A and B are shown apart, each in its own frame.
Chain A
């Protein structure tokens, strides 16, 4: 049975699509599934940098599409995690170097080899977006708790639905519980009310993500830290495990916190 092709998209730039793709992919691979990350941001590739694999690129997605390399040759194996591969984007080309039909073909070929194919979409709603969603079976929408990001997410959800990518799920990134508590930031309920789609998970705003990203190491690989926890929670829920969304509120009752730790513990077996 072919694997699932999942596009990670947002509309707005800078909300954390690439970081989410890297961490979700690494997390799923750590659970033993075969995962391929695809950077669909041709001309502004980043996923390779975030994964720390930039210096191993020889061939890229466009080379495969244009027949200069076979798919196997272009895939970069992430040595830290057994089942994780990356298909990098071309940096020296532009989005129109690839057509949606070619992307469909490519992702279909990858789905034969992998359990999950995660596509990191470029920002925007133009050609690059159309490429990224072309071969997808399902979509994850990333937003931050900002009015502009939520507005763009809403637009993207509409476009996904128009393309028969029904029931996209939402990831809220970079939430700051202290600001939410003061009423200075949109909270999860506000966002869900507007977007009205299923919430997959919530990731706190944390310096650890920036540090890890700059080092080229997905934060989910770390054994501790609330962001690593949040991403593992996201992974579990993505894989269909019945766990609640991580309670990020550090001020929550001790009991609640213990419960969420236990949920984490269970999901880690």
Chain B
């Protein structure tokens, strides 16, 4: 684990080869040593390719707040102008046209009720999105699993944002300033679907490889 001081806080790199809980312990130890120095400061945490689950993230925030520090950002890639190491942005042919957000956040595993993922840019979920879970992103949201929770794509007003899911049965779907909910008793098709805004309405259509997207 490495520490780097910055103008307005500290930048912490987690060692990716270390177990999360060990890394957390080390963070606690290091912050303890430098407690006075860091107090009241802001901290950027780079997990170097590891995506923190909401629970892990909360643990990190708990530790830093113990030392009077505010977490500015916990990320899975290096901030501050370094080259992203994690997921590359989707080829623009497939994602929505717009001022393309730079990165995608990759979430490994299922998001359960009460868990929230918020991200500036696109979000890809390798798992299900259960009812009661929420994803908010300024870009597209792609769920490689069963989307049963709430997704807000284009949350900053981007009406070109899209939501993709292998099974699209959301509790509620929001794109930019629009809200839609699933019909009460209909079940959608078993295949992948895409939701997007067409003529001022959120519309859902089956995904046909090659037919969709901004290209």
Determine whether the beta carbon of B179 is less than 8 Å from that of A58. Answer: yes
Chain A at the B interface: mostly helix, strand, loop or mixed? Answer: loop
Determine whether the beta carbon of B131 is less than 8 Å from that of A54. Answer: yes
Determine whether the beta carbon of A92 is less than 8 Å from that of B116. Answer: yes
Q: Decide yes or no whether B113 CB sits under 8 A from chain A.
A: yes
Which B residues touch A58, using CB under 8 A? 172, 179
Closest to A94 in B: B114
Q: Decide yes or no whether A55 CB sits under 8 A from chain B.
A: yes
With the chains together, A49 CA to B148 CA distance in Å?
Answer: 13
Q: A55-73 CB contact bits vs B (8 Å, 1 = yes)?
A: 1111000000000000000
Q: Give the number of residue pairs across the A-B interface with Cβ within 8 Å.
A: 24
Q: Decide yes or no whether B103 CB sits under 8 A from chain A.
A: no
In the complex, what's the smallest C-beta–C-beta distance from B6 to chain A, in angstroms? 31
Closest to B54 in A: A92
Determine whether the beta carbon of A91 is less than 8 Å from that of B113. Answer: yes
Closest to A52 in B: B184
Q: Decide yes or no whether A100 CB sits under 8 A from chain B.
A: no
Q: Decide yes or no whether A43 CB sits under 8 A from chain B.
A: yes
Given A91-B132, A92-B134, check contact A54 B114 (CB 8 Å).
no
Determine whether the beta carbon of A92 is less than 8 Å from that of B115. Answer: yes
Of B134, B171, B182, B184, most A-chain CB atoms within 10 Å: B171
Determine whether the beta carbon of B182 is less than 8 Å from that of A55. Answer: yes
Determine whether the beta carbon of A57 is less than 8 Å from that of B172. Answer: yes
Chain A residues with a Cβ closer than 8 Å to the other chain, count: 12
Chain B at the A interface: mostly helix, strand, loop or mixed? Answer: loop
Determine whether the beta carbon of B131 is less than 8 Å from that of A43. Answer: no
With the chains together, A45 CA to B179 CA distance in Å?
Answer: 21
In the complex, what's the smallest C-beta–C-beta distance from A98 to chain B, in angstroms? 16
Which A residues touch B98, using CB under 8 A? none
In the complex, what's the smallest C-beta–C-beta distance from A47 to chain B, in angstroms? 13
With the chains together, A44 CA to B114 CA distance in Å?
Answer: 8
In the complex, what's the smallest C-beta–C-beta distance from B179 to chain A, in angstroms? 7
Determine whether the beta carbon of A55 is less than 8 Å from that of B114. Answer: no
With the chains together, A45 CA to B113 CA distance in Å?
Answer: 10
In the complex, what's the smallest C-beta–C-beta distance from B109 to chain A, in angstroms? 17
In the complex, what's the smallest C-beta–C-beta distance from A58 to chain B, in angstroms? 7
Choose among A49, A56, A57, A92 the residue that contacts B114 (Cβ–Cβ < 8 A).
A92
With the chains together, A52 CA to B134 CA distance in Å?
Answer: 19
Closest to B131 in A: A54
With the chains together, A257 CA to B134 CA distance in Å?
Answer: 50
Given A91-B132, A92-B134, check contact A55 B171 (CB 8 Å).
yes
Determine whether the beta carbon of A54 is less than 8 Å from that of B115. Answer: no
Closest to A216 in B: B184
With the chains together, A92 CA to B113 CA distance in Å?
Answer: 8
Determine whether the beta carbon of B114 is less than 8 Å from that of A91. Answer: yes
- Docked complex: A182-239 residues within 8 A CB-CB of B: none
Determine whether the beta carbon of B181 is less than 8 Å from that of A56. Answer: yes
- Docked complex: B122-171 residues within 8 A CB-CB of A: 131-132, 134, 171
In the complex, what's the smallest C-beta–C-beta distance from A213 to chain B, in angstroms? 15
Which B residues touch A55, using CB under 8 A? 171-172, 181-182
Closest to B179 in A: A58
Choose among A43, A44, A54, A92 the residue that contacts B171 (Cβ–Cβ < 8 A).
A54
Which B residues touch A43, using CB under 8 A? 114
In the complex, what's the smallest C-beta–C-beta distance from A91 to chain B, in angstroms? 5
Chain A residues in contact with chain B, CB under 8 A? 43-45, 49, 52, 54-58, 91-92
Chain B residues in contact with chain A, CB under 8 A? 113-116, 131-132, 134, 171-172, 179, 181-182, 184
Q: Could you jot down 21 A-B contacts, CB within 8 Å?
A: A43-B114, A44-B114, A45-B132, A49-B131, A52-B184, A54-B131, A55-B171, A55-B172, A55-B181, A55-B182, A56-B172, A56-B181, A57-B172, A58-B172, A58-B179, A91-B113, A91-B114, A91-B134, A92-B114, A92-B115, A92-B134
Complex A-B, nearest 8 residue pairs according to Cβ-Cβ distance, in ascending order? A55-B181, A55-B171, A91-B132, A92-B116, A91-B114, A55-B172, A92-B114, A54-B171
